Amino acid sequence: MSKYEIETEKQSKEDLLPPRVRDFMNYMSTIRGKSSSTIDAYTYDLTVFLKYMKIRKGLSDGNGEFEDTVISDLDDDFLRSVNLSDLYSYMGFLEKQRDNSSYARARKSASLRTFFRFLQGKARVIDQNPAAELESPRIKKSAPVYLSLDESVNLLKSMDKSDKDYYRDYCILTLFLNCGMRLSELISIRKKMIREDVITILGKGNKERTVYLNKACLKAIEEHLSHMDLTDVPEENRDYLFLSSHKKPVSKRTVERLVKKHIGQSGLDSEKYTPHKLRHTAATLMYKHGDVDIRSLQMILGHENISTTQIYTHVDDERLRESVKANPLSDIDEWDDI
C-alpha cells in the first residue's frame, strides 16, 4: 500500500469520528507524542463508547444495530449530556454484553478519563468532568510468566543451526532474553541505531531509550549480519536489522511465530510463552541473578512508572525462603537455655 493510499484510508477512518474525538486524537499524537498503536486503541475505545451512548440515549438511526451506528454527527451538546451513571452503565455493558475482562475494562475506563479530561481542560467544552469519579475495575495482579535460567539456555542451544533463518532467529531471541526489549522496539531496529555496545531505540510513547548490549548480544548481531543476504532487498529496507523472507522489515506476527516455533522445539509449552514473556524473562534473570536494583531495572525496561517494574520483586520465592531461614531466631531450639 502506497503512502497516499495509507493517508487516504486514515482520513476516511477519521471522517467517521465526531469532530471532538478527532481533535483529541490530534492532541494525543502531536502534543502528547503518543504512538500510532496508542492512538488506534483510543480510537477504538471511544468509538465503542460513543456508539453505546447514542443507542442508550435513543438517538441511534436505522435498525439500531451496534456496528451500524453512526457517531460522526455527535456534537458538544451530546458530550455535555454524558454523566457518571452513563459511564457505569457502559462498564456493565462491556462486562455483560461484550465479555470484556477486567483488564480490558480498566483500559477503556482509562481512555474515558483521558478523553473527558481533555474535553474539560483543553477543549473547554464541558464544565463538569463525568469521568473524574469513574473507578477502574480491580485487576488481579499475578507474577509474570518467565523462563528459568536453565530453560533460557536450553532454548538457545536447542535451535537448529541448519535452519536458513538460524542466525536471524538466534539474534532475535538473544536480544529478547538479554535486553528485555519490547516486540515493537525490536522490529524497528536499524543498523545505524547501533553504536558499539549501545542501541538507541524509540520506545513506548515515542520516547528515546538507550539499550546496552552485552557480549552475547554483540556476538549474535555480528554473526547475524555476516550471514545476512541483501540480494534483491529494496534500498529503503537495507538498513533494518531484521528482514523477512519477503525482503521487508520483519513483522510482529513473524516474530511471534518464530518465538512459538523455537519454544516448542525446545520442549516447552509454545502456547505459554510469547515475545513479551521473553521480555519478562530478561527482567527476571537480571533481578534474580544479576543483583540489578529496581531503579536500574526500571531504566533498562523503559518503564515510566516504577510500580510497573515492581512485579519483578515478587518472583523470587527462593530468595524470600532463604531470607526467612537466615533469621537468627530460626535455630532457637539449638540455643542454650537462658
**Which residue numbers are catalytic?**
182, 204, 276, 279, 303, 312
Beta strand 198-202 with 208-212 is antiparallel
Nearest to 174 by CA among 192, 196, 191, 159: 159
Report helix, strand or coil for 76: helix
The region, left, alpha or beta by phi > 0 then psi within -120 to 50, assigned to residue 14 is: alpha
The alpha carbons of the chain give a radius of gyration, in whole angstroms, of 25
Neighbours of 98 (CB within 10 A): 13
Report helix, strand or coil for 125: coil
CA angle 197, 203, 208 (to 5 degrees): 65
What backbone phi and psi angles, to 5 degrees, belong to 167?
Answer: -65, -35
**Residue 303 in grid coordinates:** 518503564
- Written in H, E and C, the secondary structure of 144-161 is CCCCCHHHHHHHHHCCCC
Nearest-angstrom CA–CA distance, 42 and 24: 9
Q: Specify the DSSP element, H or E, that contains 218.
A: helix 215-226
- Beta strands per DSSP E along the chain: 194-195, 198-202, 208-212
Nearest to 186 by CA among 221, 156, 219, 216: 221
Q: Which amino acid is at 65?
A: E
Contacts of 233 (CB under 8 A, 6+ apart): 243, 247
Report helix, strand or coil for 212: strand
